[in-house]
Structure 1
Amino acid sequence: MSVIESIHEDHGATFGERADRRVVEHYGRPARTHRAVRNGVGLLEQAYGVIVVEGDDRVEYVDNVVSNRVPATDGQGCYALVLDPQGGIDVELYIYNAGERLLLLTQPETAAPLAEEWSGKVFIQDVEIRVATDDYAVFGIHGPQATEKIASVLNGAGSPDERYSFVRGTMGDVGVSVIRTDALTGEESYEVICAAADAAAVHDTLLNQGLNAAPFGYRTVDSLALEAGSPLFHTELEGTLPNVLGLRNALDFEKGCYVGQEVVSRVENRGQPSRRLVGLTLDGGAVPESGAAVFDGDASVGNVTRAGESPLLGDVIALAIVDYDLASDEVTVRVDGTEVAATRTGLPFVEGSDRSDRLPTYQ
C-alpha cells in the first residue's frame, strides 16, 4: 500500500495492483505526463520492499549470496541479483551501505520471503536480517531537470554524482537520504528515502518547493522505461540468464561466489549467450501482447516481452528476446493472429538526459 494514499487521492490518482501492492497508476492523461517528465521533472512514490541487514558480518554475508560486490564504504551502493540454481534471475536488489546497516530495496513481494530464507541460513555469523518495508518511504525524481530539482530542495549536502551513491541531508526539517540511481527511465534520476512518518512532508517539498515536479504513476514508468530500453523484473528479468539481457553491471565475475548453489562464472559469462534482448518498431497501430511470437520468415525466432505506443515517437515499440544470431532486421510479430511487420531498432528508442544502466552491453 502507498504510504501517503490519501494525498495521492487528493491529487486525483487512479490506483492499481502490482504484485499485490496498491500503487498509483496515473493521475489522468498519462501520455501528457510522460512528456512532462521527458521535458522537465517528475515525482513518483516508489513501490519497494525493504530489507535491513545489521551485525558485524553484514557486508560479508550479503556479498556471499548476491551476484555483485557489496560496497564496504558508507554512502556507496550497487545493483545485484540473486540467481536460481539454473543461473536465472530470481531476485533483483539495490544494496546500499548505510554505515552500521545495509539497506536493500527489492520487489515488494520479494522482501519477506528473501529475509526469511537468508535468516534461516545464518549460523555463526553476526548478522540480523529484518523486513522494514513499513518503516520507509521512497520517492523517485526523474527528468532532465532532476539534478536541478534535488539541488533546489536538499540542504546540508550536494546531489550525489556517482550512480548508486547517496548523501544525507534535510528537506525542510526532515532528514533524508538521496541516491543517484541507474536512470531506468532514460533520464537523470534520484531516489529520496525518508522515514514513513515523514513521507507527507517530504512529498510536499518535492512536489511544491523549489523547481516544481509533475506527479506521475507506474503507467508512465512503464512507457518511459520502454522508450529507454530498460528491462524490468516481471517482464524481462525474472527467470532469465543475466547475459541474455546484457546485465553485466550486476555481475562481478571475479568473486567466484555461490548464488543459488551455482557459481556466478557459469552464467554464460565467457561465451556468447543463445538469446539476446532487442528493440522492435512495429508497423500500424496494433500493440502485441507479452509473449507474442517473433518470426524471421517462417521461422519462430523469439517472443515479445512487452510493448506499447511510444508517447514521444507515436510508434508502437516493443522489447523482445530473440535468437542471438538473428541476422535479419526485418521480422514479423504475431498480433491477434496476424503477422505484423517490424523492424529491429537500436536501444534506447528515445535518447533522454541519461542512459539506463540496464541497456544491453552487447549492443
Structure 2
Amino acid sequence: MTSIESTHADHGATFATRGGETVVSHYGRPERAHRAVRNGVGLIERVVGVVSVRGDDRIDYVDNVLSNRVPSSEGEGCYALLLDPQGGIETDLYVYNAGERVLCFTPPGRAAALADEWAEKVFIQDVEIDDVTDDLAIFGVHGPQATEKVASVLHGSATPDEPLTFVRGSTADAGVSVIRTDAPTGEEGYEIICDVTDAAAVFEALSVQGMNAAPFGYQTWESLTLEAGTPLFEHELEGTIPNVLGLRNALDFAKGCYVGQEVVSRVENRGQPSRRLIGLTLGTEDDTGEADDTTAVGDSTESAETGDGAAEPADRTATSGAAVFDGDSAVGEVTRSVTSPTLETPIALALVDFDLEATALTVRIGGEEIPATVTELPFIDGSERSARLPSYH
C-alpha cells in the first residue's frame, strides 16, 4: 500500500486498488499531469513488492529461477521473469545486486507469496528470504527533466548514467538509493528508495525542492506507459509467453535451465511465436471531421476532467479482450487502451496473429465495429525509449 496516504490526501489524491494494494489513482486532473511529465518532470509513489535474499548463495539462488542473468557486481540490476512450466509469465521482476543482499521488485501484492514459495524451496543453500515491502518507500521521477530534478536533491553522489544501475546518497537528510530506470514511460526516469519512516520527507523534497515535480498517479502511469509501448504485468504479461510480447530484454538465451526455459527456447528456435503485440489507433470521424472519442480499456472506466474540474462524459469503452478483426476474421484482442492526452485520440495495445499483414482493422466496442489502424510503437517519441518495446526477429 502507499506509505504516505495522508500526504497524498492533502494533495487531493483519489485512491484505487492495484494488485490488492492501495495506490494513488490521480490528483484530480490526470491528463494535465500526463502532459506535465511529457513536458518536464513528474513524481509518483510506486507501490511494488520487495523480496530480499541474503546469504552466500543469494545470487546463484535467484539466478537459477529467473529468465535473465542476475548481475554479479554491486550496483547493477536486470529485468527478468518468473515463468511457469508452460512458459507463461507468473511475475516480472527488477532484480538488483545490493551487496549483502539481492533485492527483487515485483508487481504489487506478489512479494509475500513469492518469498514464501522461494523459502519453501531452500534446501542446502545458504540463503535467507524475506518480504521487506513494508520497510521501504519507492518514488518514481519521470520526464525529460528527470535527471536535472533528481540531481538537485541528491547529495553524496551523481545520478547513475546507465539503465538499471543505482547509487547511494541522501535526500532530505535521509539515506536513499537512486536507480536509473529502463524508461517505461518513454522518458528519462529514476526510482528513489528510502526507509518508510523517511517517506514523507523524501516525497516533499522530490516535489518542491529545486524544480517542482508534478505529482501523478496510476491513471497517468497507464497512459504514459501505453504511449511508450510498454507492456505491463496486469494487462499484457500475466500468463503470456514472453516471446509473444517481444520481451527480449528479459531473456538470456545463453542461460542454463530454469522453469519455462524449454518453451521459450523452442519458440525462439522456431523463428516466431503464434502472436505478437502491436499498437492500434482507434476511432472514426463524424460529419465535422472530429475524431470519435472511443476507448477500449483494461479494467475500468473513469471520467476525464476538464480544466475547470467539470466531468466530461465517460468514454465508450470495451473491457480487456475486445475482439480485433481483419474483415470478418477475428485476429486478436485488445489488452488495454486509453485516450492519449498527447495525441488526443484513443490508442491501444493488442495481441494479434503473428503473421497478420493488414494494417486497417476493426475493434468491436459496444456491439459496433470501430476502425483501428496498426501503428508503429512507440506512439510517442519521448526523451528515451522503453526497454520493453516489443522486439521480434
What is the TM-score normalised by the length of structure 1?
A: 0.98
Residue matched to 2:344: 314
Percent identical residues: 65
Alpha-carbon distance, 1:265 to partner: 4.6
1:187 aligns with 2:195: no
Q: Which amino acid aligns with 1:340?
A: I
Separation in 1, partners of 2:33, 2:249: 30
2:385 equivalent among 346, 349, 355: 355
Separation in 1, partners of 2:77, 2:125: 22
Separation in 1, partners of 2:266, 2:29: 42
Alpha-carbon distance, 1:40 to partner: 0.5
1:325 aligns with 2:355: yes
Residue matched to 1:117: 117
Q: Which residues in structure 2 correspond to 1:236-315 (within 5 Å)? A: 236-259=236-259, 262-263=261-262, 265-266=264-265, 268-270=267-269, 271-283=271-283, 284-288=292-296, 289=318, 290-315=320-345
Q: Which residues in structure 2 correspond to 1:65-144 (within 5 Å)? A: 65-144=65-144
Alpha-carbon distance, 1:223 to partner: 0.6
Q: Please, which runs of 5 or more residues in structure 2 have no aligned partner?
A: 284-291, 297-317
Separation in 1, partners of 2:243, 2:170: 40
Residues 174-211 of structure 1, C-alpha deviations (whole Å, 9 max, x = no match): 11000001111111000000000110111111011111
Q: Number of residue pairs matched?
A: 362
Residues 38-66 of structure 1, C-alpha deviations (whole Å, 9 max, x = no match): 00000000010110000000000000000
Alpha-carbon distance, 1:107 to partner: 1.2
Q: Which amino acid aligns with 1:287?
A: T
Separation in 1, partners of 2:157, 2:255: 34
Residues 121-175 of structure 1, C-alpha deviations (whole Å, 9 max, x = no match): 1100100000000100000000000000011111111110111100000113111
Q: In structure 2, the residue corresponding to 1:64 is in which secondary structure? A: helix
CA contact (8 A) 1:242 1:267 kept: no
Residue matched to 1:207: 207
CA contact (8 A) 2:18 2:108 kept: no
Separation in 1, partners of 2:218, 2:124: 42
CA contact (8 A) 2:243 2:264 kept: no
CA contact (8 A) 1:256 1:263 kept: no
Separation in 1, partners of 2:108, 2:336: 21
Q: Which amino acid aligns with 1:257?
A: C
More divergent stretch after superposition (265-274 vs 69-78) = 265-274
Q: Which residues in structure 2 correspond to 1:15-54 (within 5 Å)? A: 15-54=15-54
1:197 aligns with 2:214: no
Detail structure 1 runs of 4+ shifted over 2 Å in the superposition: 262-267
Q: Please, which runs of 5 or more residues in structure 1 have no aligned partner?
A: none
Separation in 2, partners of 1:172, 1:230: 32
Alpha-carbon distance, 1:307 to partner: 0.9
Q: In structure 2, the residue corresponding to 1:7 is in which secondary structure? A: helix
Q: Which amino acid aligns with 1:292?
A: A
Separation in 2, partners of 1:267, 1:359: 22
Q: In structure 2, the residue corresponding to 1:202 is in which secondary structure? A: helix
What is the TM-score normalised by the length of structure 2?
A: 0.91
Q: In structure 2, the residue corresponding to 1:71 is in which secondary structure? A: coil
Q: Which residues in structure 2 correspond to 1:148-167 (within 5 Å)? A: 148-167=148-167
